[in-house]
């Protein structure tokens, strides 16, 4: 979640509203509070990003991404650098948010457990070309050499970890 380091949580989440709407300060404050609550954050408006955990920063970033009620939200490696518990919580948050909002999530991701958990469709690119496009089951059973190599490498890493 790329937050503005010199802005507190409220300023980070409200930034798109000030830039792209003519809402009153009161309406902006209400919308920010609602979006923060929707991602499970309360009483954090005055905190700076440096005061937040990695998972909290991800949640603030999601609140900001949702503040203008977009049709599509892009996640770029949403669980990179997070511990396994927080990674699971981010997966929960993605699913809960998808249930709450009529939004399409486009997730760029190398985290296969998260992918299998939250994705309806998996598209894989290799050398600028789509080599796999289908359900998670289609992906798991793909016969494309690059997809197989990717899945086998991931399985080998998991097996090595024990």
Q: What is the pLDDT of residues 3-42, one digit of tens each?
A: 999 999 999 999 999 999 999 999 999 999 999 999 999 9
Residue 69: the pLDDT is 95
Helix (H) or strand (E) holding 148: helix 145-161
Residues 6+ apart with CB under 8 A from 88: none
Residue 155: the pLDDT is 84
**pTM as predicted:** 0.84
Residue 127: the pLDDT is 95
CA torsion, points 77, 81, 87, 89, in degrees to nearest 10?
Answer: -100
Q: Which residue has the tokens 């955990």?
A: 53
Residues 6+ apart with CB under 8 A from 146: 124, 126, 131
Residue 162: the pLDDT is 63
Residue 60: the pLDDT is 97
pLDDT under 70: residue ranges of the chain: 1, 162
């Amino acid at each position: 979640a790329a937050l503005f380091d010199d802005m507190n949580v409220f300023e980070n989440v409200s930034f798109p509203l000030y830039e792209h709407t003519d809402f009153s300060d009161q309406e902006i404050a209400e919308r920010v509070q609602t979006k923060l609550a929707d991602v499970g954050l309360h009483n954090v408006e005055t905190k700076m990003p440096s005061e937040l955990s990695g998972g909290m920063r991800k949640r603030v970033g999601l609140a900001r991404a949702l503040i203008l009620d977009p049709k599509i939200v892009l996640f770029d490696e949403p669980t990179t650098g997070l511990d396994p518990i927080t990674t699971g919580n981010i997966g929960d948050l993605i699913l809960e948010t998808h249930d709450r909002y009529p939004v399409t999530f486009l997730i760029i991701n190398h985290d296969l457990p998260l992918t299998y958990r939250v994705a309806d469709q998996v598209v894989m690119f290799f050398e600028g070309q789509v080599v796999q496009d289908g359900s998670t089951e289609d992906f798991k059973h793909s016969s494309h050499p690059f997809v197989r190599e990717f899945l086998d490498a991931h399985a080998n890493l998991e097996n090595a970890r024990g």
